[in-house]
Amino acid sequence: MKLKKSRHLPPHIHFIGIGGIGMSALAMILVKNGYSVSGSDQKKSSLLKELEEGYVKIFQTQEEANIEKILQDNKKNDVLVVTSSAIGPDNLELQEAKKYNLIIKHRSEILKFLIDQKKSIVVSGSHGKTTTSTYITTILSIIKKDPTAIIGGIVPLYKKNYNISNSELLVAEADESDGSLVKFNPNIGVITNVELEHVDHYKNLEELLKTMKEFAKNCNHLIANFDCKNLKKNIQKSKWFSTQKIEGIDFALIPKESNGCEVIAEYYEQEKFVDIIKVPVPGIHNLSNAVAAIAACRTAGILFKDIKKGITHLHLPSRRFDYKGLWKNRLIIEDYAHHPSEINAAISIASLIINTKNNISSISPNRLVSIFQPHRFTRVKKFQKEFAKSLSKSDLVFITPIYSAGEDQIEGINNRSIAYELKKLKPNLEIYTPDNNQELKKLMIEKTIEKDLILIMGAGDINKTCANLFLKVVVNNTIKNNFAA
């Protein structure tokens, strides 16, 4: 992709919190197009290492001196500082940038700039947007359309969260968490579903729907999920997709067979049967993401026969029902689930694996063990009973301390308060609330048994925590491909 240089993007761009999944993708795309880029982040990661290798100057701290160093090499008017909603007003770098009256923009404004350069497909929704945008990007790449991509997760085909190309197409994920997606004007917009989420920003569902309605109006073509009652009632759509209904639906993918590996479904377009499709990813919610991706590609003018070639290469992005291998003869799977609906979806696939006994692993798991790291105190306060109901479908549950994501503690809201609600629902369920990683490790060794399916869920750092606990994970490559790490 060759960007049109604009007065809105000065020669040097500095990202505060550059290691974030969205910020790092923007940074790499800009540096590859000739911009001088720097950034700061206090946490080490593979993303930061890649940025450094891509000639991005990384500051290991976030302090005033970083801004002063940048201004030693650049004129004041040649510097743009990019921030995100995760950066608070008391951030020292941000305060210093304001002191020097530097141009400061939210990351969404940079994403808008990139969207405006291309024929864009922008995906939003409460759940499934990373998976859907990954599917779209994968299909387009397999059939040599090679889109520029800015994704909120690691795309297996690229092994990174972005792609850079000279093609006319761009695929981007639009995060609704802070309402900034209303700035975008995509050619094609996709809304996967709408459900109350991000309660730290939205007081109620009506506020979230107002934001999504505004995004919908800004799309030249809108594709929406007919199966989501909140969309069906509130969004004026251009085209509908569904996994439940054919009549009156533009793109339908109706499941016929489902197991822990794949879903076989009938594809209909404008109510007419087209073909049988084998989607190589488990779960009906992932089938919904697949038909959304098909709808977006068809609306972009891609022939169905080409789309079908791409579907055979679909894999889930990282941390989305991500098969990690075997640990002490236990099947280990990670999922980003941090909302009750997402936990339901992940547990549904796990239960299907256990119940169908389809030999996708060298072991046939008998029991579901859920390890859940709650994310944000505000979310737990709002959905405590719903979390308990979702987790009650497990055979053994570990609930770790809440990952705060920078929020202040709320009195009475913690991992034990979820366990209390869970015990009321299912008194005989084995539930443990470890206080720290060492206690979690000890409990896992003591309480889990061979042929358990251990499902690790959460949007915080539980994946890293558990990776350190598993001293040796044996990976079977055949299964790895099925689950798409």
Question: Are residues 294 and 411 part of one domain?
Answer: no
Total residues belonging to the chain:
485
pLDDT of 363: 78
The sign of the torsion formed by the CA atoms of 435, 437, 438, 440 equals positive
Which has more confidence, 375 or 463? Answer: 375
What total of structural domains would you count in the chain?
A: 3
Assigned domain for 166 exists? yes
Nearest partner of 399 among 464, 462, 467, judged by Cα? 462
Question: Are residues 470 and 341 part of one domain?
Answer: yes
Assigned domain for 6 exists? no
Residue 381 pLDDT grade (very low, low, confident, very high; cuts 50, 70, 90): very high
Question: Are residues 162 and 243 part of one domain?
Answer: yes
Question: Are residues 264 and 203 part of one domain?
Answer: yes
CB 295 within 8 A of CB 190: yes
Question: Are residues 219 and 286 part of one domain?
Answer: yes
pLDDT of 463: 81
Tell me: the pLDDT tens digits for 69-98?
Answer: 999 989 988 999 999 888 888 899 999 999
Task: Using the predicted structure, report yes or no on whether residue 36 has a pLDDT greater than 90.
Answer: yes
Distance CA 195, CA 204 (A): 10
Among residues 290, 311, 332, the one where a domain terminates is: 311
Residue 196 pLDDT grade (very low, low, confident, very high; cuts 50, 70, 90): confident
Distance CA 26, CA 183 (A): 16
Determine the structural domain holding residue 49 and report its residue range. Answer: 12-107
pLDDT of 480: 41
CB 48 within 8 A of CB 18: yes
Assigned domain for 3 exists? no
CB 354 within 8 A of CB 453: yes
Question: Are residues 412 and 300 part of one domain?
Answer: no
Whole-number Cα distances in Å, 298 to 4, 115, 194, 441: 28, 19, 23, 48
pLDDT of 179: 81
| Least confident interval from 100-114, 125-139, 323-337, 346-360 | 346-360
Distance CA 251, CA 241 (A): 5
Tell me: the pLDDT tens digits for 261-307?
Answer: 889 999 999 999 999 999 998 888 899 999 999 999 999 999 999 99
- For the chain, the distance separating the N- and C-terminal CA atoms, rounded to the nearest angstrom, is 27
Question: Are residues 143 and 84 part of one domain?
Answer: no
Among residues 107, 131, 163, the one where a domain terminates is: 107
Q: Average pLDDT, whole number, for the chain?
A: 88
pLDDT of 101: 93
Task: Using the predicted structure, report yes or no on whether residue 476 has a pLDDT greater than 90.
Answer: no
pLDDT of 359: 59
pLDDT of 358: 60
Residue 481 pLDDT grade (very low, low, confident, very high; cuts 50, 70, 90): very low
Question: Are residues 400 and 368 part of one domain?
Answer: yes
Task: Using the predicted structure, report yes or no on whether residue 475 has a pLDDT greater than 90.
Answer: no
Question: Are residues 67 and 164 part of one domain?
Answer: no
Among residues 254, 286, 311, the one where a domain terminates is: 311
pLDDT of 279: 94
pLDDT of 360: 65
CATH of residue 406: 3.90.190.20
Which has more confidence, 363 or 266? Answer: 266
Average pLDDT over residues 108-122: 93
Assigned domain for 407 exists? yes
Average pLDDT over residues 399-421: 92
Contacts of 359 (CB under 8 A, 6+ apart): none
Task: Using the predicted structure, report yes or no on whether residue 447 has a pLDDT greater than 60.
Answer: yes
Assigned domain for 317 exists? no
Which has more confidence, 390 or 202? Answer: 390
Residue 460 pLDDT grade (very low, low, confident, very high; cuts 50, 70, 90): confident
Residue 21 pLDDT grade (very low, low, confident, very high; cuts 50, 70, 90): confident
CATH of residue 93: 3.40.50.720
Average pLDDT over residues 114-131: 93
Average pLDDT over residues 155-160: 91
pLDDT of 1: 42
Distance CA 275, CA 261 (A): 20
Question: Are residues 124 and 95 part of one domain?
Answer: no
Assigned domain for 113 exists? no
pTM: 0.85
Tell me: the pLDDT tens digits for 202-235?
Answer: 788 889 999 999 999 999 999 999 999 999 999 8
Helix, strand, or coil (residue 213): helix
Tell me: the pLDDT tens digits for 67-77?
Answer: 999 999 899 88
Assigned domain for 477 exists? yes
Question: Are residues 148 and 128 part of one domain?
Answer: yes
pLDDT of 470: 65
Task: Using the predicted structure, report yes or no on whether residue 135 has a pLDDT greater than 80.
Answer: yes
pLDDT of 482: 38
Task: Using the predicted structure, report yes or no on whether residue 346 has a pLDDT greater than 80.
Answer: yes
Task: Using the predicted structure, report yes or no on whether residue 2 has a pLDDT greater than 70.
Answer: no
Question: Are residues 248 and 123 part of one domain?
Answer: yes
CATH of residue 292: 3.40.1190.10
| Least confident interval from 81-90, 267-276, 329-338, 457-466 | 457-466
Assigned domain for 316 exists? no
pLDDT of 352: 85
